[in-house]
Structure formats: structure tokens, C-alpha cells
Structure 1
Amino acid sequence: MSIKDGWFSETEVLWPGQKFSLEVKEVLFHERSDFQDVLVFDSVHYGKVLVLDGVIQLTERDECSYQEMLTHIPCFAQGHPKKVLIVGGGDGGVLREIARHPGVETIHMCEIDSMVCEVSKRFEFCTASAFGDARLKLVHEDAAEFVKKEGNNGYDVIIVDSSDPVGPAETLFQPSFYQNMKQALAPMGVIATQGECLWLHLPLITTVLRACAEIFGSVDYAFTTVPSYPSGQIGFVLASVEERDLSTPASTPNAAMTEVLRYYSPEVHQAAFVLPVFAEKEIAGVRRRSSKE
């Protein structure tokens, strides 16, 4: 356990030479599942924290910026999703946000590690509020195999809320997985995947975008700020089979959703695609934006 003198420090995996630390009030849970080390602790300033294999997955203080953006960018870019697939997301945050879309009729969720779901519910994370939604079908399987098996299932939106490309999530960054997601999309469907950090993983990001550009008609990159993530920032790979503008919402939140959102807005949606100069120089040549823009 990476806790010393009352402080938790992340394990260096994809960001050598730096660590993020949080002061611990109480360790609530620590066990190893069939797939990874799972740690839950209550922190001094960030609320409850979920850690997988030594890396922070969420804190209750700043989870909204990740969950809302990963969910609502593809949903509002698509416009009116009815059938949604969530890959990963065992803490329930993406599920919570999908459940806020009244037009969604079916939610499939594939999380390989049931322990992540169970501890999120057991310790009442603010993200774990929609597991009882009647629209949800939750399975615990290998996501790469699940998506391949699903075939042409007509999903309007597929959201991949994965950990970093090591361990059980490694297969979710391979071109074959993106190809299988393409087959599972409905016409005008949109995918969004966790896309790593511009400050730390730009070569990996451009590799993924280049591979996606061989598969999809539109491929783009957006980002958000998350203080407890490495370098305080994380991005998303967005793609659609058709050539389209993913940076402009095709619909907007209704009044009820607007009341509960803490980070996402149509304006923030569009701004998320405006990249800093150093990243724009690298990504501009590998993304695929609509020729009409």
C-alpha cells in the first residue's frame, strides 16, 4: 500500500518522475481482486478516493469534470442517443450521467472487475447512484471480447471509461478494439474513450488518433481538467463513422439536467476541442475533422 506517514502517493506507471499525493483520514477498503489492487480511502480534502493498482481513478471532489465531459460530449454530439454502451466505468460515474438523459432507453455496461462496482456501492461513492436504473444491463466480462461478440448492435453512443493501457485495460487501446466498436455503432453513432494526458502521453495519443483515422470518418480530441489526475488534465478520443463536427453539440441539456451539472455546458463542450499550441501541432495532422468546418 502506497501510504506513508498519513499520505497516499500514486505509483509511477506512465508518468515517471512525478507523483500526486493526498492526505489520508481513514483507509476504508484494501483488497486484491482477480484483476487488480483495489484501495478505497477517505481523504482530508478530496472526499472518498478510489485507487486501482496504485493509481487514482476518482476523488469525490473533482470527479464531475471527468464523468460529465466523457459522457455528455459524445451524447450531445450524437444528439439524441437511445441505446448506450459503457465499457469499464465500474465506479458508476458515467452510468450516473447517462441516466440523466431522459431519451436513453437501453444502457449496457461491461465492467470486467465486479469488485470495483461493489466497493463503489458499498462505500456510497457519489458516482454510484444509478446502478438500480431499470434501463441498465450490467455484465462482468472482458470488454474487448464483449464488444466483438456484440457485433452490429446499433449503439448510438459507446463510452470507454478505462484505466491506463496497462493490465486489464491494455486491449482497450488496440486498433482491433476500435474496429469492433465501429461495427457495434448505429448510423450516426459516436464513441468516446479515455484519451490520456496531453502533457505526458502525446506520442500515445497521436498513435491512437492515427489508427482511428484509418477506421472512422471523423476523429477528434478534447480535454478536461481534473486536479487529482496526472498533470491535472486528461483527454478523450471522439470518433464517428460519418464525417461530422463532433465539437458542436447537436442538442443541449434540458432544464432538469442543467440544474445538476457541475462542469459540462454546451460552451465548455466546444472549448474542450481547442488545444494548446504544442498539442495542436501534433494532433492536427492525425485527427479527421469534417471538411465543411
Structure 2
Amino acid sequence: MNDYQETLYDGYGQRFRMDTLLHEVRTGHQHLVIFENARMGRVMALDGVIQTTEADEFIYHEMLAHVPIIAHGNAQRVLIIGGGDGGILREVRRHHTVESITLVGIDRTVVDICKEFLPNHSCGAFDDPRLNLLIDDGMNFVTHTTETFDVIISDFTDPVGAGEGLLSENFYQACRRCLSDGGILVTQNGTPFMQLNDVQTTASRMDGLFCDWHFYTAAVPTYIGGSMTFAWGSTDGSYRKQSLDVLRQRFAGSGIVTRYYNPEIHIGAFALPQYVLQAVNKPSND
């Protein structure tokens, strides 16, 4: 029995007991490992960084998918950048208002291996007729596409290796360009206690591009360092201020049964710790 030591941070980290190594491969883009852990179920790591576990993936995927789609209220065209494990796709496809889903992933091997070894992440979502699966660099796609989307969900890895270009200023500009009028962009943004510089970088990228930008959080045990931060950018400032009654009505109308997300969590997730607000120069009552 071996241990898997995560290498995301220098001098601080976590280790998982690797009860069974299920798959290991060096793809054309990254080093991928999937193993079994007694507490967290199947675990996937890329380039030394834990990406997802069967035990708590629902928290991350529900919050990235349902917060923007419920807030929007009529999202018909959704773009997912990254998300090759299929978890975001699984949640997005549960919304009957969504007519088309485009998923752009840089590494087909990740998609294929996750379908085989992490089937509960996608639950057959890759067979959805609304899906257009593209193997392409996310930055390249948003730079050159002529399509527009109501919601863009960026589920990229940490900004090293294959995910490096997805914190760039050009990336946010390109996403803004292919958002529909009244569109919403959300992105994974790391744990602010350990990655506050990344949160500040994203804030500087979004400021001036979106009339409304902010962050929201969820505590995902797998992502060491505290609450996970998600960036929010919208061309309509009213979406983030939806009332609890409206969110409850939309959530009930969707018929979706969740394990983490609910309208109360939705509203509360936008309440940020003071150190994060100060880092991005936001008032607490924004």
C-alpha cells in the first residue's frame, strides 16, 4: 500500500493512502493517476495535484453548474471549458431549459479514462444529444469561436501545465466576447487562503470587463486550504441579486434533486471573508 503525496504547495500538503492503483498514464499533456482510497473512493490526480474524488465531487460540480444557471433563469446555450471528468456536464444536462452544451477539453485521454474509471462523474452525460464535445485548447476555442453562450463554466485545472493559459487577461476578454447579452461566466479559482494571488489576478482581469463581478465559495474537503473560490462575471448586475423567493421558485421548477446546492446556500455563498474582500477591494455590502 502506497501513499499519494500532493505537490501543489511547497511546505504544506496532503496525502492520500493509495489502496489500489487503478490507472496511470502520461498523456500528451499531463501525468494522470486514478486510484482507490477507502474514505474518498476513486481519486484522480493530474501532474501531482488532486483533481476530484468520488466522495465530495458533488459539492464542486453542483456549485459551478447550478449557481449560474439558476441565477440566469433561461440559460439555453452553455459552454464548459475543461471538465473532462464529466461532472459539470452531468449537472448542466439536468436543466431542461438548456438546449445545447458545448464541452471543450484539451485532452481526449482524460475524457476516455474518466468515462471508464470514474463513470459516476458523468453518469452517461457524454451520450446526451445536446452535447457537442470538442477536443481543443479552451483558450483557442473562446478566441476563435463565432458562437455565443448564455453561461460559460470554466472548470480548468490549477494554473500550471495544461491550465496555465486560463488565468490570462486574454482568456477573460475572449470569454466576455462570446457571452450572450445578459450572459454569466463562472470559473474555478482555487482556495483563497493558499491562492489569494490568483483571486486578486482574476479580480483585476474581470474589473472593467463585466458590469458585475464577484466571487462565491464552497467548502470542498478534497481541495486543501479551506473554502474553494469561484469567480463570477456577468453583463447583468441583477443576476447576482436574485431574491430567495425567485431562486426557490426556479429551483423547484427545475425538478432537480441535489446533495449540496439549495437557494439558501446560493445566496450565502456570495458572502466572503473580510480578508478576501480586502484583497479584491470589494465592500462587504456589495
Structure-2-length-normalised TM-score? 0.93
The answer for the alignment partner of 1:254 in structure 2 is: 252
Distance 1:120 1:146 in 2: 22
Aligned residue-pair number:
281
Residue 246 of structure 1: SS of its match in structure 2? Answer: helix
Residue 154 of structure 1 pairs with residue 153 of structure 2: no
2:275 to 252, 270, 278: 278
Alignment of 1:1-293 (within 5 A): 6-11=2-7, 13=8, 15-129=9-123, 130-151=125-146, 153-246=147-240, 248=242, 251=247, 252-254=250-252, 257-259=255-257, 261-285=258-282
Listed one character per residue, the Cα deviations across residues 117-148 of structure 1 (whole Å, up to 9, x for unaligned) are: 11111114311221110100101101101111
Listed one character per residue, the Cα deviations across residues 186-220 of structure 1 (whole Å, up to 9, x for unaligned) are: 11110000111111111221121122112111101
The letter of the residue matching 1:253 is F
Whether the 8 Å contact between 1:108 and 1:138 is mirrored in structure 2 is: yes
Shift of 1:247: 5.0
Residue 131 of structure 1: SS of its match in structure 2? Answer: helix
Shift of 1:280: 2.2
Shift of 1:181: 0.8
Shift of 1:105: 0.5
Give structure 2 stretches of 5+ with no counterpart: none
Shift of 1:245: 4.3
Shift of 1:257: 4.0
Listed one character per residue, the Cα deviations across residues 84-132 of structure 1 (whole Å, up to 9, x for unaligned) are: 0000000000000001101100000100011111111111431122111
Moved more, 247-256 or 264-273: 247-256
Distance 1:281 1:258 in 2: 36
Residue 168 of structure 1: SS of its match in structure 2? Answer: helix
Residue 211 of structure 1: SS of its match in structure 2? Answer: helix
Moved more, 196-205 or 58-67: 196-205
Shift of 1:81: 0.6
Moved more, 89-98 or 165-174: 165-174
The letter of the residue matching 1:157 is V
Listed one character per residue, the Cα deviations across residues 156-177 of structure 1 (whole Å, up to 9, x for unaligned) are: 0000000011111111111111
Distance 1:140 1:40 in 2: 21
Give structure 1 stretches of 5+ with no counterpart: none
Listed one character per residue, the Cα deviations across residues 233-289 of structure 1 (whole Å, up to 9, x for unaligned) are: 211110012333425366432367443x100011101111111222222234399x9
Residue 231 of structure 1: SS of its match in structure 2? Answer: coil
Residue 81 of structure 1: SS of its match in structure 2? Answer: coil
Distance 2:93 2:61 in 1: 12
The letter of the residue matching 1:275 is L
Listed one character per residue, the Cα deviations across residues 57-99 of structure 1 (whole Å, up to 9, x for unaligned) are: 1001000110000111111121111000000000000000001
The root-mean-square deviation of aligned C-alpha atoms, in Å, is 1.8
Whether the 8 Å contact between 1:206 and 1:286 is mirrored in structure 2 is: no
Whether the 8 Å contact between 2:85 and 2:110 is mirrored in structure 1 is: yes
**What percent of counterpart residues are identical?**
34
Moved more, 131-140 or 239-248: 239-248
Whether the 8 Å contact between 2:18 and 2:37 is mirrored in structure 1 is: yes
Moved more, 120-129 or 209-218: 120-129
Distance 1:97 1:247 in 2: 23
Distance 2:283 2:108 in 1: 36
The letter of the residue matching 2:161 is G
